[in-house]
Chains A and B, each alone.
Chain A
């Protein structure tokens, strides 16, 4: 695996995510979130999951980031900026990070390098998705339909 590319993508992704978490202007934070999503998709490409990387780009940048920007534009009347910052959240996040890093470093069986792997083709993914994973796929379709109807009902105007 290409380690300079990994380091570059890691720095880009974490910097964009940190910007999305700390920038004061909402629109800048949303755009930083899109950049962090691109970095994650690059991680997926680097780790051999090309299809997941493509899905990540389509869903997160094509749908979620655009949806966030639309919501910001629809609700920007009173707060353009985020006022106030809760410092106890910073302490909790740093404590959780320390605990996770301690657990990862302590676990000896995690220090393995990537084995050789035949390329995962879209054809194989499609076959598995249509045979072994067909029930989860159908449930997912049902869930997405329910989420669509629920979101519509939530934002519908009361006509009384």
Chain B
């Protein structure tokens, strides 16, 4: 069996949907952040796969986009976890169902 682009994309899609599952179904804010990080990582895998499987992978375009995407994901994780800590100080919980002060 040779590895085709479809198989790599299917693995990335599975990883994306597991991240989506974590982001949508958990009630804990840190789990939601983990899910978002997994979705971003699946997108990185897609970038690398499309770069590797195109006819002439000489220019490292996909590698560059993946590096920038990883850096942005790191910045997002730092700000998101700081938000979790700030919200925890205010509400004394990290359960997103109880963050309902802005509810109409």
Contact = CB atoms under 8 A, between A and B. Distances in A.
B23 to A, nearest CB: 8
Contacts of A56: 41, 44, 70
A151 B79 contact: yes
B6 A117 contact: no
A69 B25 CA distance: 21
Contacts of A78: 92-94
B44 A115 contact: no
Given A59-B71, A128-B60, A20 B38 contact: yes
Interface string B71-95: 1111111110111111010001111
B20 A93 contact: yes
B78 A114 contact: no
Interface residues of A, number: 85
Contacts of B52: 47-49, 114, 117
Nearest to B38: A17
Interface string B3-39: 1111111110111111111111111101101110110
B5 A110 contact: yes
Contacts of B54: 115
A23 B46 CA distance: 26
Given A143-B72, A151-B79, A92 B63 contact: no
A83 to B, nearest CB: 7
Chain A contact surface mostly = helix
B78 A148 contact: yes
A116 to B, nearest CB: 10
A3 B1 CA distance: 7
Q: Which 7 A-B pairs have the closest CB atoms?
A: A89-B24, A89-B25, A21-B22, A147-B75, A151-B82, A93-B21, A97-B17
29 contacts: A6-B3, A43-B11, A44-B48, A47-B52, A49-B51, A52-B66, A56-B44, A68-B30, A71-B85, A78-B93, A82-B31, A83-B27, A85-B27, A86-B24, A89-B21, A97-B13, A100-B17, A107-B6, A110-B6, A113-B2, A115-B56, A120-B60, A125-B63, A125-B64, A140-B72, A143-B72, A144-B71, A151-B81, A154-B83
Interface of A: 1, 3, 6, 10, 13-14, 17-18, 20-22, 26, 29-30, 33, 36-37, 40, 43-44, 47-49, 51-52, 55-56, 59-60, 63-64, 67-68, 70-72, 74-75, 77-79, 82-90, 92-94, 96-97, 100-101, 104-105, 107, 110-115, 117-118, 120, 124-125, 128-129, 133, 136, 140, 143-144, 147-148, 150-152, 154-155
